[in-house]
Structure 1
C-alpha cells in the first residue's frame, strides 16, 4: 500500500518536500552560467534540500522563471519519487522483477494477494484531457525563443546551455498518436543550438534513436515532445531500466500513484503530460545533425564532440508561472549517481530471477555508477564465477557498459571495500582468475576506450576455488567460536562503566 500522497506533478512533490523541511528558497541573484552548478554541488554533497532559485540571471539580465535543482539529491527523495520508503523498496523491486517474468497466480488466494500489483497496473492507463495547465501559455512562430528559459551552462568549458532533465518523448513511425503505450520516454541531454533549435543526444541503442531510424527509413520528419518539470513519477520512470514492452509514459502512473494525465500537443501529432511545467514541441529531420558538445559529463571529464540529430522547435507551451527543473552531471556524487544507488537495489530481484546464485550486487557510485560491479554469489561448482560475469554482461543494456566485474563469495559484503580487497588479496591470482574480453560494446562517452563505442572488459574471480580450479590445498577462513564471542561480550559488559562508549 502506498504510504505517500499521489504526486501528479512536480509542484505536488515540491509541496511534500516543503512539508518535510526539504526545500530551500534562494532569493538572491544566481547566474545560470557556472554559479548555479557550484551552489547545487555544495548542497548535494552535504545531503541538503531541494533548491529553488527565485532570481536566476544570465549576462547580467534577470530571468523570469525560477529554477528547481537537487530534486533527487538524497536517496530518501529518490525513494519518495518512486512512491516507496526504505522499508517498502524491496517489495517494489520484486514488482519490477515480476514485470519482466510474470507468473500465473496459483488459485484465488494467490490472485487476491496480488491485488496491489493489479491496482498498480490499472493506474498506468492514461487519462486524456482537452484543457491542460501546461498549455496555459503558447508560443509559436517568431515567439519561440529558447533563450527565455533559464537553461544552465554548467561547466567552464561547456559548449553552451544544456537541458539536463528533459523527458524526451517519441513514438515509432506509423503509430497512432493516441497509443501512449507505444511511446518512448528517455532522459537525453539537449543542447541549445539557437533560439529555435536543439541538439538531441541519444545513443544508438536508446528507444528514441530506434524511433528516429523508423521515421528516417520512411524519409519523414519525426515529431518530438520534450517535457520539462515533469512529475517525479515520469522523471524516474524515464530513467528506470524497464522491460522494452513497458512504456515509461504509462508506467509513470504506478510511481505517481495516479493515472497519468495527457493532452494533445499544440503543433505536432503527439500526446504530452498535462501536468508538466513546460513542453517543447518540434520535429527531427531524417538526416540533419550538428556537432554536440563538449560538455562535462558523469565521468568527471568533458566528452568529445560528435554529431547528433537537430530538433526544430515548432511550439513552446507552459503554465502561467512555470518552474524550470535542472541538474548537473559530473564526477560523483551527482544526482544520477544517487538515483543509481537506489536503482541498484531495484535491479537485484530481476538479476536473481535470471541468475539465481547471485546474493548481492553493488555498483560503486564513484565508478560512475555502472562502470564497475561487485557481485557476491553462492558458489557451488568450478567456473561458476565466470558464468555469472558473462550472464551479467549480457543481461541488461546497462551491464554492457560495465568495464569490470568482481565476483566474490557470499561471506563477502560487496559494498565493503575492505572485504573486497581482502578477497582479492587472498582468493585471486592474476594469472588464473582474470578474464579479459575485447571489442565489446561501450558507452561512447568513455574516451578511454580504444575505439568509440567499442572496448574491452575485465572479470575478476575473487571467490574461493573449488575442484579443478586449483591443485593446491585451499585455505580455511579463521573464525571464533560463538561461545567465545558471547563470553567476551558478557565479560566486557560487566566491567564497562555505565555511559561509557
Structure 2
C-alpha cells in the first residue's frame, strides 16, 4: 500500500495519456436531451424511475436543514433527495438536489448513481466503473455540438439585478464560515491562448451580492491557468460556473486528469458522443447548453476575501482552516425553467468526496504501467479517499525484472512524486 496525493498521481502521468484533438465548431440540434450522463435533468428523472429519488415537497430551510437531510442520506445510503420547496426561492431559483454520487442501500445497486452518471447500467460494480473511465483515455474526443442557444438560457439576470445574498444559498454545516453556492458544480477556465479549457470542482462561498470567494490551491489546474494570465499582466480572467452540469462532466471535473488535457474532451470520450455546448453571454467561454444554472463573470487575480472554514470529508472543521481566497465576480446568471441546484455536503463516509477521489486509481494504474512496472491493477477503497491504494503485482513480470520489494516500492514512490 502506498500513500499518494492527487498531485503526485498527476505528476507521473504523461500529457499524452488522454488523446487530444483540435477541432472546429459545428452547430447541430440538441443531442444530449434524455441522456442521463449528459443531461442533469434526465439524470434526476432516471433516478426516479430507478426508485432512487425522494421527492420532498414540504418546505425546507436552506439554513442547515437541507444540509442535515443530505448528510443523513449519505450516512444511511438512502434515496437521493430532491427539494421542491426551498424557503426563500424566488424567480425560479431554485430547487435543490443532493447526493448525486453517493451510494445506494441495495448492495446490488450500490454504485447505481455513479453508474447512471457514466451511462452504465445501475447494477454495475466498481470495477465496471473504473474500466469505463480507463477506456475513455484510449479514445479520440468528439467535436462538441455548438448550439445557438440552450435550455440554460431560458432565464437571464445581469449586472446589478444580481443579488446572491437574496437567494436561498445553503449553510450546509454548523461551523461553516458562510453559505456555499458551489459544492457540486463545474468551474470553467481557459488559458490565454485557448489551448486548454479546464473544468474543475472547487468550493465557492457567497461573499456579497455579486461575488464568491473560492478555494484555489497552488499546484492545481485552476492555479496553473491563473499563473498564465498573471504572466500577461492581467488582473482578471473570464470565468463561468455550471451548476447542474452533465453528470459525467461533474465526475470528470472531480478527478485527476493530466494538465493540458481539457475535461470536455475526456467527457466526450467517456460518453461516446459529443457534448452540446453554447457560448456564454459575456465571453467566448463555452458552457454545457443544458446546465441547470450558469454563472458568468471574472476570476480576480488580485482581490481576495476570507473563505471557510468548511467541513470536509473527514467530518470536522479545523482551527485556522479559513483563509483569504480569490474573489469571483458574477456578471450574469442564466438558468433553466424550474432550475435545480445540486449540493454536496461532505462529511464522514460515504459521499461524493469519497467516491470521486477513489477514481484516482485509474490514473495511478496508467502512470505505473506507462513506466513498465509489473502492476496489473490498482484499487483505492472508498474509505481511503485515495490516500492509499492497493496494487496487484504481476509476479511473473516482477521475477523477470530481478528486483525486490524494497526497490519496487522505491520506484513507485519516485514515479508518484515526479515533478510536474
Same fold (TM over 0.5): yes
The corresponding residue for 1:53 is 83
Contact 1:63-1:148 within 8 A present in 2 as well: no
Q: Does 1:142 align with 2:160?
A: yes
In the aligned structure 1, how far is the partner of 2:85 from the partner of 2:343?
A: 15
In the aligned structure 2, how far is the partner of 1:372 from the partner of 1:260?
A: 34
State the Cα distance separating 1:246 from its structure 2 match.
2.6
The corresponding residue for 2:294 is 279
Q: Superposition RMSD on alpha carbons, in Å?
A: 2.9
Q: Does 1:385 align with 2:402?
A: no
Contact 1:65-1:323 within 8 A present in 2 as well: yes
Contact 1:81-1:232 within 8 A present in 2 as well: yes
| 1:50-81 Cα distance to aligned partner (Å, 9 max, x none) | 210112226x9998511011111122211221
In the aligned structure 1, how far is the partner of 2:361 from the partner of 2:85?
A: 36
The corresponding residue for 2:335 is 318
Report the 3-state secondary structure (helix = DSSP H, G, I; strand = E; otherwise coil) of the residue aligned with 2:76: coil
The corresponding residue for 1:95 is 135
State the Cα distance separating 1:41 from its structure 2 match.
1.9
Report the 3-state secondary structure (helix = DSSP H, G, I; strand = E; otherwise coil) of the residue aligned with 2:347: coil
The corresponding residue for 1:216 is 230
The corresponding residue for 1:370 is 386
Shift in CA distance, 53/80, structure 1 to aligned 2, threshold 3 Å:
same
Contact 2:155-2:334 within 8 A present in 1 as well: yes
Q: Does 1:184 align with 2:198?
A: yes
Shift in CA distance, 223/16, structure 1 to aligned 2, threshold 3 Å:
same
Deviates more, 1:247-256 or 1:259-268: 247-256
Deviates more, 1:67-76 or 1:5-14: 5-14
State the Cα distance separating 1:370 from its structure 2 match.
2.1
Contact 2:52-2:80 within 8 A present in 1 as well: yes
Shift in CA distance, 317/348, structure 1 to aligned 2, threshold 3 Å:
same
- Residue from 187, 192, 210 that aligns with 1:168: 187
Report the 3-state secondary structure (helix = DSSP H, G, I; strand = E; otherwise coil) of the residue aligned with 1:337: helix
The corresponding residue for 2:43 is 13
- Residue from 232, 243, 246 that aligns with 1:228: 243
TM-score, L = length of structure 2: 0.79
Contact 1:44-1:73 within 8 A present in 2 as well: yes
Contact 1:56-1:63 within 8 A present in 2 as well: no
State the Cα distance separating 1:244 from its structure 2 match.
2.8
Shift in CA distance, 51/281, structure 1 to aligned 2, threshold 3 Å:
same
- Residue from 44, 50, 58 that aligns with 1:28: 58
Contact 2:298-2:329 within 8 A present in 1 as well: yes
How many matched pairs?
A: 368
Contact 1:225-1:272 within 8 A present in 2 as well: yes
In the aligned structure 1, how far is the partner of 2:306 from the partner of 2:294?
A: 24
In the aligned structure 1, how far is the partner of 2:52 from the partner of 2:60?
A: 20
Report the 3-state secondary structure (helix = DSSP H, G, I; strand = E; otherwise coil) of the residue aligned with 1:36: helix
In the aligned structure 2, how far is the partner of 1:166 from the partner of 1:392?
A: 33
State the Cα distance separating 1:355 from its structure 2 match.
5.2
Shift in CA distance, 47/21, structure 1 to aligned 2, threshold 3 Å:
same
Contact 2:133-2:270 within 8 A present in 1 as well: no
| 1:446-472 Cα distance to aligned partner (Å, 9 max, x none) | xxxxxxxxxxxxxxxxxxxxxxxxxxx
Shift in CA distance, 382/17, structure 1 to aligned 2, threshold 3 Å:
same
In the aligned structure 2, how far is the partner of 1:129 from the partner of 1:358?
A: 44
In the aligned structure 2, how far is the partner of 1:282 from the partner of 1:143?
A: 14
Shift in CA distance, 382/331, structure 1 to aligned 2, threshold 3 Å:
farther
- Residue from 269, 277, 282 that aligns with 2:284: 269
State the Cα distance separating 1:273 from its structure 2 match.
1.4
Q: Does 1:68 align with 2:87?
A: no
Contact 1:29-1:56 within 8 A present in 2 as well: yes
TM-score, L = length of structure 1: 0.67
Contact 1:352-1:358 within 8 A present in 2 as well: yes
| 1:1-54 Cα distance to aligned partner (Å, 9 max, x none) | xxx956331011112111111111011122222222221122222322221011
The corresponding residue for 2:173 is 155
State the Cα distance separating 1:386 from its structure 2 match.
3.6
The corresponding residue for 2:208 is 194
Report the 3-state secondary structure (helix = DSSP H, G, I; strand = E; otherwise coil) of the residue aligned with 1:294: coil
State the Cα distance separating 1:148 from its structure 2 match.
4.5
State the Cα distance separating 1:161 from its structure 2 match.
0.6
Contact 1:355-1:391 within 8 A present in 2 as well: no
Q: Which protein is bigger by CA-based radius of gyration?
A: 1
State the Cα distance separating 1:346 from its structure 2 match.
7.0
Bigger relative contact order, structure 1 or 2, given CA contacts below 8 A and separation 6+? 2
The corresponding residue for 1:132 is 150
| 1:99-120 Cα distance to aligned partner (Å, 9 max, x none) | 4xxxxxxxxxxxxxxxxx4xxx
Deviates more, 1:8-17 or 1:42-51: 42-51
